[in-house]
Amino acid sequence: MTRLHDLYSEQGQSPWLDNLKRGWITSGELQEWIDRGVRGITSNPSIFQKAMTGTDDYDTQLKSLADAGRSIEESYWTLVTTDIVDALEILRPVYESSGGVDGYVSVEVDPALATDTVGTISAARELHQGIDRPNLLVKIPATAEGVPAVRQMIAEGRSVNVTLIFSLDRYLEVMEAYVSGLEACPGDLAGVASVASFFISRTETEVDRRLDAIGTREALDLRGRGAVAQGQVAYELFRKAFSGPRWEALAARGARVQRPLWASTSTKNLAYPDTLYVDTLIGTDTVNTLPDATLEAFEDHGTVARTVDADPGAARGVLAALTAAGVDLDDVSRRLEEEGVAAFAKSFDELLASLTVKAASL
């Protein structure tokens, strides 16, 4: 047994792996991660960019697709779908043994659709229909245009990972989209799953940058505290949202809570502990998706203890102090959402360009 096993069995938090590449699937390394306690997989365009351009593991299939006259974008989605399906099968036993709590693999819609509700709905539906596995989560960004798409997918009984959440206000909208989607979904709700992905270290980096610019003693004393505080307050909102008569009526139909998922949990500032965004956000009914290096670090020296709701008042106090110091948290979230969407779109475009060159050389 490892700390990753303990994290789930003792504290009710599911450790997921924020990475996927074909070499792990074919070599058995992905199965080794699962044996060590990993209970799910998340992916995004940046992850696939690194996987496909950094190795020759995809060359044979890419050449076959090129020879068959497939476009580069069609080839990309075929390569991605192959990895996702293989990972879904490897994680299927986790899905079944957990009763559908874990064992999920996430794949993101085209990031160019982040401001296109209709296009996102169509793309998400196509991924669900094409892959057709019960443990698939389609990732939809929590933009203003993405939230209605989340509701529609849930209403159709399709499981979703809502990604790129940076603010508490948007998180409330995401939870409402999930709950109202469930209310519109007919029949048994036990097969519908969702996680809401709060990005932690990206928020910390931007908040710290602004605190450094303010430069007062009060501001500098708040560095390294903002993102964790926001996550802890988000957990408080989660507990409130999934309680009471409205939720109990859905739970009676088999509905599952939409678990908060802590994403971007590797520390970007080397002055901070490498397990900071794991140790401080542990609680029941949550997920933490970690890069492999952070998983290794937590397994080696992380602390397994409930921390996410140890002091909600103090967490709210930190957010109030940030505002008082001059940090506009609404502006932070707007900037990070724009940057997050742009970064994934850039990775997607760069990957298609790289695949074009590689296909020609093959």
Phi/psi at 105 (5° precision): -125, 130
Token pair 């036993």: residue: 93
Residue 187 per-residue DSSP state? S
Residue 48 per-residue DSSP state? H
Residue 42 per-residue DSSP state? -
Q: Tokens at residue 136, please? A: 């698939």
**Beta partners for residue 262, in sequence order:** 198, 288
Q: Residue 79, class by beta-carbon neighbours within 10 Å (0-12 exposed, 13-18 middle, 19+ buried)?
A: buried
Distance in angstroms (rounded) separating the CA atoms of residues 197 and 142: 9
Helix runs in the chain, H state only:
3-11, 22-27, 29-35, 45-54, 59-67, 72-97, 117-131, 146-155, 168-184, 201-214, 217-220, 226-241, 245-251, 276-279, 292-301, 312-325, 329-361
Active site residues: 139
Distance in angstroms (rounded) separating the CA atoms of residues 67 and 65: 5
Of the candidates 84, 86, 94, the residue with the CA atom closest to the CA atom of residue 34? 94
